[in-house]
Amino acid sequence: MIVPSYVPDAHALRRLRWTAVLTLCVASAALLTAACGQKPAPPKQTSKLIGQVFPTASAKDLSKHVQHIPADYAGAPILVLVTPSKGSQPDADRWIAYLRARPTVRFREIPVIPSVIARAMQGFINGQMRGGLPKDMWTRVVPLYKDGGRVKTFFGSYSDKVAWAMVLDPHGVIRWFHAAGYSEQTAAESVRAYRGLE
């Protein structure tokens, strides 16, 4: 005996059609969200500094204008490079080269020079720094003499052979931090974290 194959009734066909339509709508919505340039989540961070406000400090940049850190940077994210020693400058230079190629990213380099002798010679030291930098970088370099020791203490025992890179949110809170040396991948992560706060 031949068993007739199953033929769905009209109600079942309508149900199948609606299921297919709903599946298509959900898939289309997901694709549309991705295509609209939804900002990727910043990389996860585990440093104890994440969530802390950058320590308050004031100093003249290389253009001789006083900058109040982080108050003057409020309202928008900023990427900050703290250079804790002369030995960390080559690493900072690599970061700066990467960031200067991205003109929409705000950044500052903050050399920390807390010694009493350096404070007495800061005019000479700043002049030497100006001589080695293009003029458009002068407002982006803010050497810390008087408040340098306090800032260095805040960051603790990270290596002083590399720059300490961080992204501050519009309220001066550290949202991304790295103190293990420059790499292009890490620099790209820092910019993604910055973009996620815009």
Tell me the pLDDT band of 193, cut-offs 50, 70 and 90: very high
Number of H helices, E strands in the chain: 6, 6
196 secondary structure, DSSP code: T
Share of the chain above pLDDT 70, in %: 77
pLDDT tens-digit profile of 16-30? 444 443 444 434 444
The per-residue pLDDT for 51 is 96
Residue predicted with more confidence, 184 or 32: 184
Q: How many residues does the chain have?
A: 198
* Cβ pair 76, 170 in contact under 8 A: yes
The per-residue pLDDT for 47 is 79
The per-residue pLDDT for 157 is 86
How far is the C-alpha of 150 from the C-alpha of 95, rounded, in Å?
A: 24
The per-residue pLDDT for 46 is 57
The per-residue pLDDT for 139 is 97
Kindly tell me if the per-residue pLDDT of 189 is higher than 90.
Answer: yes
Kindly tell me if the per-residue pLDDT of 9 is higher than 90.
Answer: no
pLDDT tens-digit profile of 80-127? 999 999 999 999 999 999 999 999 999 999 999 998 999 999 999 999
Lowest mean pLDDT among 20-29, 53-62, 136-145: 20-29
Q: What CATH topology corresponds to 57-195?
A: Glutaredoxin (3.40.30)
Kindly tell me if the per-residue pLDDT of 198 is higher than 50.
Answer: yes
The per-residue pLDDT for 158 is 93
Residue predicted with more confidence, 21 or 192: 192
Bridge partners of 57, per DSSP, are 69
Show the beta-strand stretches assigned E in the chain: 57-60, 66-69, 78-83, 107-111, 164-168, 174-178
Mean pLDDT across the chain, nearest whole number?
A: 84
Helix (H) or strand (E) holding 100: helix 89-100
